[in-house]
Homo-oligomer: A and B are copies of this chain.
Amino acid sequence: MSTRQRILATALESFGTTGVDGTSLDALARDLDLAKQSILYHFNSKQILFQAVVDEAASEFIAELDSEVDGVDPNDVLAQVESAVRVVFRLALQRPALLGLLREASRPGSSVAVQLTGRLSHHIDAAQGALEHALSDGRVAGTNARLLLFSLYSTIMGVATEVEVMRAMGVEPSLRTLAERRTELLRFLEAALVPQTISAGVTS
């Protein structure tokens, strides 16, 4: 593993857990057992390093998505959602820092938000297109594909990464509860997406 790759991996881990502002180049160099100046040799500034880490994270995330979605019917929205949930939950378990970094990079006002979303734009467009088709065919409930996708994203990402809120609600983020959480999340999303065959009438 090249030094450059080692730096990227360690920085991703630290940026994703401690945050960018909370990570100093000195601490990073200590973790790597490397001189700080060697980091700055490969990445001319902390900001550039951050951008490279975001790129790296986006690549990994996309790779995970692609490998999971591979072979799934692109028009079966529910199956696509299921794949996305599986990917995110696996990452939450095995690579929490990666999700943490995505969260960090998509903070309001983030300097790298555009870069990150640019890398994901192809997948976003594809998902949006599939949702639009499903909507117009009546296979999915809703009125606006973009807003629907946004809701799906928020729910999945929140349920997977908001560990402190989870604890507050009495759900320990352990391996034991993980399957249960994923099942309930999928049920929730399916209920939200599947159109009701007859109007249920909201009789509150």
Contacts and interface: CB of A to CB of B under 8 A. Distances in A.
Contact of A22 (B21, B79, B151, B180): B21
Q: How many copies does the complex hold?
A: 2
Interface string A130-169: 0000000000011110111111011101110111111111
B146 A170 contact: yes
Interface residues of A, number: 70
A113 interface: yes
Contacts of A146: 169-171
Contact of A113 (B109, B158, B164): B164
Given A21-B19, A165-B117, A79 B204 contact: yes
B155 A154 contact: yes
Contacts of A117: 164-165, 167-168
A109 B171 CA distance: 16
A187 interface: yes
Interface in A148-202: 148-151, 153-155, 157-159, 161-171, 180-181, 184-185, 187-198, 200-202
B124 A168 contact: yes
Contacts of A113: 164, 167-168
A106 interface: yes
A108 interface: yes
A76 interface: yes
10 contacts: A19-B107, A76-B204, A128-B169, A147-B181, A147-B184, A150-B159, A150-B162, A150-B165, A155-B155, A191-B191
Nearest 6 CB-CB pairs, A to B?
A154-B158, A117-B168, A21-B21, A192-B192, A113-B164, A147-B184
Given A143-B187, A149-B169, 12 more contacts: A19-B19, A21-B21, A141-B191, A147-B171, A150-B169, A151-B155, A155-B158, A189-B192, A191-B191, A192-B192, A196-B197, A197-B201
